[in-house]
Structure 1
């Protein structure tokens, strides 16, 4: 593996060096400015602070000559993009080609004002915007809406290499020409446009990655070391009428995860809450991602510019999860007298058992394997037409596709089948950081066999020595947009834009589920093999929680040699037939007026107002039990079901920016926005349940029949979104930016200069038609009869009516908050502090969500009451150093539940510290070389989720360790 990595690194570096050397020769032969572009204008908001259109929009792109670099340049470019936008945005720009600040694109975005990040397997993955979770925002690449590798809509940002993007703009307030906008915000990731560069550029970046924790679990596909190797090349040809951007990104990202998942906290005989069991792993996780980027531009004349963008990522994640599961109070184990109990205000009349001893414990030794393989494709074709000084048009087509396959494999061993082997006595302590620490007495390397230690498969008449969930997801989205713009030379309106967009999205989800047995056979027939010996290797994946050793083995090898044999499950253990398909077609005509005028002698007004009309047709397919079928055992027969609906939504929006001086802006925004239903909630499937104790009941709410499922007629959650922001920009010295008069017109940075800013803002989001995931309605189950009922039972059946629980549009609520941001280069205070600076932001958010029949409001999922980010930096003569702190308070977040379903749990808050130091050579033979060292999660924060608003009632406890990286970056000049 090391040899392959070294060869790959050498080959890439050599190729990039040769390409860049050739590019330098071409650039040297052509006259023109020799400097670097600072920022790009967005496709959907091309007006500058002066209100005039850029030449890039009209096709005759003026080449820019802005020379800045490093973290300060990223701050200055981001500030310039924010300042010149015609709506309320936050932005981040690359420090140099192929290098966004931060360890990943999600990590970088999570530090922006109003945004927070949620980690998955130790990596930042999904975003929260203004307190609303990932289901309420969307992501674009060069304006094209993105699909998701998850089983819903939330975009997982670790599927995108950060080296591809030059600028990322987060739209916090929408505008009518922003197609694919989210309810809370829209993330638009923009790659480099080669014809907006004035010369050839190339850079390579290489980093070596490791974790402070040693490898917890051995096995194929995982390691405790990793790397990231990427390169970007930009060049122009044919008298600057043809441009090309090529990028590659190879990453191997390791993580070591100490994982604990208590079953819950029932009450003992004295009414005290006590841990009922726990599933514990030492997990070694490795994510590998290979990515390719290609952009081609053609601008034969001033009337036409064509751009083709293509990206491809191949993502694979492997987890070796070794550990043990300890059934405690929720089993045949006995809690012995003498426990230590502390007062617990969350338990009526009881306390919380902090430590004690269980006897008669039958543990389940786990050797699990999880793997995810995903591919993401994007194609975008943008055609800009400039007919004359007044009329222009834009025709854009894009296609985004994601496929994902998962294997979640569980494998069990223990001391005997169905609690018949030797048992153990376990001492436990609930530590202050939430860790459940155990003191077992049994040697888990002796007398252990492959078996079903707890008899979990008995209800399905099998010996369940393991289980496999294998979901498969396909998601594709096609968009076509035509827009026309009429410019006005005078008057309050700078232009009128109108157009129409059409999108079509299809997503399918299928899951295969398999019991792993020891050769098949049934328990009732007496042909089942209940246990099998095996030879494993002593390992210590749980030493961090008191378990010294256990036996570890490769479950894939056990399947390959026939020791473990798969048999199909008799129905799904998720409660709902899990397979589904969804389809959406959205037609969106829109118009937008762009403003640029003066209100008297001292106040300017710019911005936009307009409206989108969305006509949506949606349908969903699923499964339900066939009439006469049973809901357990071999009698299950499923038949397809479907449902559909259509609706119209009108989405007006207005962004008004009042300029009181050259450095002071007041931004006011009002809009109606929507978030489409989660795709698993649109599932048409119905899962039927029965209760023989209620056979004769005539009350439909307490009847024999009940069911749960999705709702294909769901409509979007709607919101009225109000934002206000006051911004004061500090005047900065732009003398070093090599700006000429044309650059001042075209470049965000040149137009407004450097410097920082201070901003205070507020927002109010009124939610209505909010999707209540646990609503219910009456349903007639007559078509399901006889449903395995005898004639006598049918005669005694009280009613065929029952309740179906599922999502409905009957919730309402609000999210409101305020935030303060200070981006202060300390040199503005005194020249003695040149190079120092701080970037601080704090956000306070409150929410309320009410469902019918439940007047007590709850918090909106994903919302942290407090979010704060701070960075202190220093940059001078090539040396850079910075340290950052990201804090968010506890919030209701989504985690992975049984059979890859999503469940809500309270996620504990806290701070995460990162630091980076680097040095860039700016002369001599090493000119262009940067040496980098950085660390993340330096506080070694523990990730926890808990229940009942009690941080002691832990549901998930994870520690990832500190992450370190060292590397080099070389920019060819």
Structure 2
């Protein structure tokens, strides 16, 4: 309920308080908290670029029939969240799933990607223990939006990095799984729209705050987080005005332990050296494949997220409303690590004479001992700092009851800076014993005590690289909707949108500085607690100190390097994309048919203008007097391309109301996804290997400026039964036929540098395959068991299952693996979430599982074999005690089962990595009034 400015003077003063008052709010007593009615009822999602109210606690069920007394019931907590999300799904003109925060700053998962995994059809990728990206129905070509507008991280991926955003800033997330003509194009799998709150979402003054402390068990550290929101609205002489400010700050820590097996190579009996190895192993005439070494990695790091959102709304009259918003996300990521590898690169590895070896039935190595294996002990640092700022202004004018005109403008600026620093120490393992037959590989190094003796190591080399990306986007659109009274045609919508997006990246390229002589700074790294003590390997190694590597300037000073790597003109690449889109859509309903139907039909026409520029460059090595090498002269030549294309994208959405609670949907559409800027980046930088890198596998990566856009033809069918306010059972089937699908490919190139030296490089890039197909089924069910007696009536469940099958040509046409699914696609996945909410107690336990999937269709050092991730599941849980209606305490846990992630090279007899991450336990105090 709003009131005039004079009576709300104290509320206006309260707004001037900054969000740093969060701690004071938490300290407030229950007696000081206000009591009152819940917030406004609105279960709409955003569409077509216009901002829309958020889902908040106090949602009433908008899906009830008129006259149903239950429609007046106001619910809170998890029930409100499920009810609001269900209402969005039920009433949307498209096939959509939603997650709604049950309270301010309270999405079900603190990480946005991990919250999304609870939706059927969505699978997530994890990086260092946290969800980082998603695939919808098996495809990663996902569009990300903020309140229906563009949002992205300046890394060339054309979408927002989901790990960057603190979830406390969001009111909800909508996932559109099939396109309609009024939705912005540039996705194959779906659109993820993040919704923030607006001051007109609330009836008056609103304040909320939370503080959090999280403990990460593997790294043995605790990190704080906090969030705060203040909002108010009041009447003035120029109309109603509302102002909202929201901030969220998170710090997290992690440690990740990995045991790696190096790529496998099949011995060639026509090569004399390989024939001799086969003879020494008594394997002449038998297929034999050997790994070229092994290693471990211990990664430490932290993340810092700082998000702010300020929104101002002005309603000068009942027919006109303006919304201005500034959303800023500031993300810092750092990891430093020890990576110790005994491996021969692409050079032959020598079996220890007389040692026992075992093999799988296909001839793949399973256990054995090798002699005199080169060792690299690397200590490294990686830092990323990304800032995305979104400025938007929306105007909605309703000159008549039938006509609504919306205008929207946006400017986005995003920057990302990356720094990479690696110190290399060299040694030799007299003997290397490997046994990969168990879930955790066994590693033995001889002679005893050799690898933790600093006298057995020498300085090898130093690599550093700095790059910076800047992206910007200017977009504007105008939409109009005219509604009709009665008849078959309900309304007509039409609109036009223009966007001008650009990205520029400058990169120093890796600078190699040769080092030699005995160690200066070093440390002994104790590995007795590695892999929680479950690994059977050596007790320690020698490495450059972590305490130094975490400071980039201190590392260079310790190595006597007083200069920074320099940006060359050839280290820059630029991409610019202009899009012009117009659409028209007709919305209709026929409610007098035996089965009432409604829906929409439309077409979107999009023109794209694209220009990319970059360089092909080579940097040779110069040998110093002491025998080491360092970067020498760089030669380069420009590469670029520009073109334009126009696509016509029709869409149809139909919904049949079989009963008041049962509805059937059908959708047919066409869509396109443009290549991302990093895929189009024409630049390729090759630095000649330094002296300490000669035995390594030499790799490089670059884009392909000639990639075509992907297009898809989509069919969707959905049957939805809504049997209560928070109960539903839905099933969906989908089919996508994709043309010009973009796939990762690895090619071998013999590269000759200006000094005449030739090296073999495995170059990762992209190409358009002929076509791909994706089909599948989703089933979702949720319900609270209110009919149960006593305390059991608080029980509820959310569950879903997804089957996705895909088919596309593999980059490899011969060898042991020639057919693979699309990247990052599990054929099977499911979620089961147990819920309990009764009285002051609210609890959730969520188990997420997915079957094996392909990380990349062709990995470096694999002989172009795909890299698979084995099936795995993860358990998360939370428990909340609502001390008062305004104050709650929560404890939650992530990765409670200590899930191991395991990858392999194409065949499960060729393991690659086994990885574990932290378990996290968090305590949260939250107050809202």
**TM score, norm. by length of structure 2:** 0.82
For residue 202 of structure 2, the aligned residue among 194, 197, 212 is 197
Query: Which residue number in structure 1 is paired with residue 227 of structure 2?
Result: 230
Question: What is the CA deviation profile of residues 239-280 of structure 1, one whole-angstrom value per residue up to 9, with x for unaligned ones?
Answer: 681112211111111111102343212246334333312342
How far apart are 1:680 and its partner, in Å?
2.7
Work out whether residues 869 and 904 of structure 2, in 8 Å CA contact, stay in contact via their aligned partners in 1. yes
Q: Structure 2 CA distance, aligned partners of 1:303 and 1:65?
A: 28
For residue 769 of structure 1, the aligned residue among 737, 740, 748 is 740
Change (3 A) 1:570 1:226: closer
Matched, 1:275 2:314: no
User: Counterparts in 2 of 1:573-584, with a 5 A limit?
Assistant: 579-584=572-577
Change (3 A) 1:641 1:503: same
Q: Structure 2 CA distance, aligned partners of 1:505 and 1:634?
A: 36
Change (3 A) 1:371 1:724: same
Q: Structure 1 CA distance, aligned partners of 2:809 and 2:859?
A: 25
For residue 879 of structure 2, the aligned residue among 887, 911, 917 is 917
Query: Which residue number in structure 1 is paired with residue 376 of structure 2?
Result: 364
How far apart are 1:824 and its partner, in Å?
1.9
Matched, 1:565 2:578: no
Work out whether residues 219 and 300 of structure 2, in 8 Å CA contact, stay in contact via their aligned partners in 1. no
For residue 596 of structure 1, the aligned residue among 589, 613, 623 is 589
Q: Structure 1 CA distance, aligned partners of 2:386 and 2:567?
A: 26
Q: Which moved more, 1:358-367 or 1:668-677?
A: 358-367
User: Counterparts in 2 of 1:232-271, with a 5 A limit?
Assistant: 232-238=229-235, 241-267=240-266, 269=278, 270=283, 271=287
Give secondary structure in 2 for the equivalent of 1:73: helix
Matched, 1:844 2:844: no
Give secondary structure in 2 for the equivalent of 1:561: helix
Matched, 1:430 2:436: yes
Q: Structure 1 CA distance, aligned partners of 2:754 and 2:522?
A: 46
- CA RMSD of the aligned region, Å? 4.0
Query: Which residue number in structure 2 is paired with residue 871 of structure 1?
Result: 833
Q: Structure 2 CA distance, aligned partners of 1:852 and 1:414?
A: 35
Give secondary structure in 2 for the equivalent of 1:661: coil
Matched, 1:289 2:308: no
How far apart are 1:66 and its partner, in Å?
7.4
Change (3 A) 1:301 1:44: same
Q: Structure 1 CA distance, aligned partners of 2:711 and 2:487?
A: 35
Matched, 1:938 2:896: yes
Give secondary structure in 1 for the equivalent of 2:83: helix
Matched, 1:173 2:178: yes
Question: What is the CA deviation profile of residues 871-926 of structure 1, one whole-angstrom value per residue up to 9, with x for unaligned ones?
Answer: 11111101012211101111112599999xx997322221101111111023xxxx
Q: Structure 1 CA distance, aligned partners of 2:258 and 2:614?
A: 34
Work out whether residues 428 and 439 of structure 1, in 8 Å CA contact, stay in contact via their aligned partners in 2. no
Query: Which residue number in structure 2 is paired with residue 714 of structure 1?
Result: 707
For residue 90 of structure 2, the aligned residue among 83, 90, 94 is 83
Work out whether residues 771 and 811 of structure 1, in 8 Å CA contact, stay in contact via their aligned partners in 2. no
Question: What is the CA deviation profile of residues 88-136 of structure 1, one whole-angstrom value per residue up to 9, with x for unaligned ones?
Answer: 0110100101111123111111110111111011110101100112xx1
Work out whether residues 506 and 581 of structure 1, in 8 Å CA contact, stay in contact via their aligned partners in 2. yes
Change (3 A) 1:542 1:767: farther
Query: Which residue number in structure 2 is paired with residue 475 of structure 1?
Result: 471
Q: Structure 2 CA distance, aligned partners of 1:840 and 1:15?
A: 36
Q: Structure 1 CA distance, aligned partners of 2:746 and 2:524?
A: 49
For residue 578 of structure 2, the aligned residue among 571, 579, 585 is 585
Change (3 A) 1:595 1:943: same
For residue 606 of structure 1, the aligned residue among 598, 601, 605 is 598
Q: Structure 1 CA distance, aligned partners of 2:20 and 2:390?
A: 28
Work out whether residues 275 and 328 of structure 1, in 8 Å CA contact, stay in contact via their aligned partners in 2. no
Work out whether residues 639 and 683 of structure 2, in 8 Å CA contact, stay in contact via their aligned partners in 1. yes
Change (3 A) 1:315 1:448: farther
Work out whether residues 823 and 840 of structure 1, in 8 Å CA contact, stay in contact via their aligned partners in 2. yes
Query: Which residue number in structure 2 is paired with residue 827 of structure 1?
Result: 786
Q: Structure 2 CA distance, aligned partners of 1:568 and 1:226?
A: 32
Change (3 A) 1:103 1:635: closer
Q: Structure 2 CA distance, aligned partners of 1:629 and 1:333?
A: 26
Structure 1 gaps, min length 5: 1-7, 49-53, 56-63, 216-223, 453-463, 519-528, 691-706, 732-753, 791-803
Question: What is the CA deviation profile of residues 661-706 of structure 1, one whole-angstrom value per residue up to 9, with x for unaligned ones?
Answer: 110010100100111113233223467999xxxxxxxxxxxxxxxx
Q: Structure 2 CA distance, aligned partners of 1:116 and 1:39?
A: 29
For residue 550 of structure 1, the aligned residue among 527, 538, 541 is 541
Question: What is the CA deviation profile of residues 13-49 of structure 1, one whole-angstrom value per residue up to 9, with x for unaligned ones?
Answer: 237889999996xxx9xxxx7322455422327999x
Matched, 1:503 2:499: yes
Work out whether residues 357 and 425 of structure 1, in 8 Å CA contact, stay in contact via their aligned partners in 2. yes
Change (3 A) 1:175 1:715: same
Work out whether residues 143 and 186 of structure 2, in 8 Å CA contact, stay in contact via their aligned partners in 1. yes
Query: Which residue number in structure 2 is paired with residue 456 of structure 1?
Result: none
Matched, 1:954 2:919: no
Change (3 A) 1:16 1:479: farther
Q: Structure 2 CA distance, aligned partners of 1:903 and 1:75?
A: 43
Work out whether residues 894 and 919 of structure 2, in 8 Å CA contact, stay in contact via their aligned partners in 1. yes
Work out whether residues 138 and 186 of structure 1, in 8 Å CA contact, stay in contact via their aligned partners in 2. yes
Query: Which residue number in structure 2 is paired with residue 59 of structure 1?
Result: none
Q: Structure 2 CA distance, aligned partners of 1:948 and 1:299?
A: 60
For residue 352 of structure 1, the aligned residue among 353, 358, 365 is 365
Matched, 1:813 2:804: no
User: Counterparts in 2 of 1:263-412, with a 5 A limit?
Assistant: 263-267=262-266, 269=278, 270=283, 271-327=287-343, 334-337=350-353, 341-345=357-361, 347=362, 350-354=363-367, 356-412=368-424
Q: Structure 2 CA distance, aligned partners of 1:896 and 1:200?
A: 56
Query: Which residue number in structure 1 is paired with residue 526 of structure 2?
Result: 540
Change (3 A) 1:428 1:343: closer
Work out whether residues 65 and 198 of structure 1, in 8 Å CA contact, stay in contact via their aligned partners in 2. no
Question: What is the CA deviation profile of residues 277-313 of structure 1, one whole-angstrom value per residue up to 9, with x for unaligned ones?
Answer: 2342211111011111111111111121111121112
Q: Structure 2 CA distance, aligned partners of 1:919 and 1:365?
A: 49
**TM score, norm. by length of structure 1:** 0.79
Question: What is the CA deviation profile of residues 458-488 of structure 1, one whole-angstrom value per residue up to 9, with x for unaligned ones?
Answer: xxxxxx5221132322222221010111111
Q: Structure 1 CA distance, aligned partners of 2:166 and 2:926?
A: 16
Work out whether residues 151 and 159 of structure 2, in 8 Å CA contact, stay in contact via their aligned partners in 1. no
How far apart are 1:437 and its partner, in Å?
3.3
Query: Which residue number in structure 2 is paired with residue 750 of structure 1?
Result: none
User: Counterparts in 2 of 1:517-916, with a 5 A limit?
Assistant: 517=513, 530-541=516-527, 543-544=529-530, 545=535, 546-551=537-542, 552-553=544-545, 554-555=548-549, 556=551, 559-565=555-561, 579-600=572-593, 602-624=594-616, 634=632, 636-685=634-683, 710-731=703-724, 754-774=725-745, 807-828=766-787, 833-850=792-809, 854=813, 857-893=819-855, 905-916=867-878
Work out whether residues 868 and 903 of structure 2, in 8 Å CA contact, stay in contact via their aligned partners in 1. yes
Query: Which residue number in structure 1 is paired with residue 887 of structure 2?
Result: 929
Structure 2 gaps, min length 5: 1-17, 54-60, 63-70, 267-276, 623-629, 689-699, 758-762
Change (3 A) 1:167 1:38: farther
Work out whether residues 394 and 406 of structure 2, in 8 Å CA contact, stay in contact via their aligned partners in 1. yes
Matched, 1:492 2:488: yes
Q: Structure 1 CA distance, aligned partners of 2:194 and 2:79?
A: 20
Change (3 A) 1:65 1:368: farther
Give secondary structure in 1 for the equivalent of 2:23: helix
Q: Structure 2 CA distance, aligned partners of 1:386 and 1:280?
A: 64
Q: Structure 1 CA distance, aligned partners of 2:303 and 2:129?
A: 11
Query: Which residue number in structure 2 is paired with residue 101 of structure 1?
Result: 108
Number of aligned residue pairs: give it: 838
